[in-house]
Structures are given as C-alpha cells and as structure tokens.
C-alpha cells in the first residue's frame, strides 16, 4: 500500500476481472442503490496500561459494508483525550484521502 507499482495494479485488475466474471454471485452494497461512504473514528485515552499509549481506530463503509478499517496503538502518548481523538481523526483523514485517490484511479 505504501509503494504501489504496475504489478500491484495488474493484480488489482485481476481481482476486479474475477469479480466481474462472478457478479451473479456478488455482494450487494446498499441494496437501495445508495453507495454513500460513511466513516467512523475513535480512540481510547491511555488504554495500554504498560505504555499509556492510546488506541486509534477507524472504519469506512461503502453502501453499508466495511471496505477499510484499522485499529492500532498510537505512536506517541497523548496528554489528553482531545489529543488522542485528534490523532485518530488525522489517521482516518489520511485513509480517506488514500481511498479517494484509489477510487479515482479505478475510475
């Protein structure tokens, strides 16, 4: 994900071709045709009792189905719950920008 190449794009297109060939078996996103993107982010403050680091979590939904998610310890110790939430929101925004770029590349 950090350094995509033409080989990665070829593999992604292979997955898409497989999906197109089996669309009668496919997944139904949103049922009503609404492909809205919804995202959530959250953190806990000093949740790790050993290091006092916070956990950042986010999830992106497309048509009601999860398409991207993450949960990991933050790199730095937040001095307040606001700082922890800010770091979680920043991580979610980075993922949103990456997803937007990916969607643009897929057309």
Considering the entire predicted model, what is its pTM? 0.65
Query: What strands, in cross-sheet order, belong to the sheet with 55-62?
Result: 37-44, 55-62, 65-73
| pLDDT score of 26 more than 80 | no
| pLDDT score of 107 more than 80 | no
CA distance 45 to 55: 7
- Tell me which range, 18-22, 56-60, 100-104, is most confidently predicted by mean pLDDT: 56-60
End-to-end CA separation in angstroms for the chain = 18
Q: What is the dihedral of CA 81, 87, 90, 94, to 10 degrees?
A: -150
Q: What is the mean pLDDT of the chain?
A: 85
Return the ∠ at Cα 90 (arms to 39 and 53), rounded to 5°: 105
CA distance 85 to 43: 6
Mean pLDDT value across residues 62-80 = 86
| pLDDT tens digit sequence for 32-59 | 667 788 999 999 888 888 888 899 999 9
- pLDDT computed for residue 40 by the predictor: 95
């Amino acid at each position: 994900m950090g350094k995509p190449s033409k080989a990665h794009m070829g593999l992604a297109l292979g997955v898409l071709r497989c999906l197109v060939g089996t669309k009668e078996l496919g997944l139904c996103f949103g049922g009503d045709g609404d492909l809205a993107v919804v995202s959530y982010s959250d953190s806990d403050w000093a949740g790790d009792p050993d290091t006092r680091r916070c956990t950042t979590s986010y999830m992106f939904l497309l048509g009601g189905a999860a398409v991207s998610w993450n949960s990991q310890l933050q790199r730095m110790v937040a001095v307040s719950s606001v700082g922890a939430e800010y770091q979680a929101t920043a991580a979610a925004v980075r993922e949103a920008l990456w997803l937007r770029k990916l969607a643009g590349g897929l057309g």
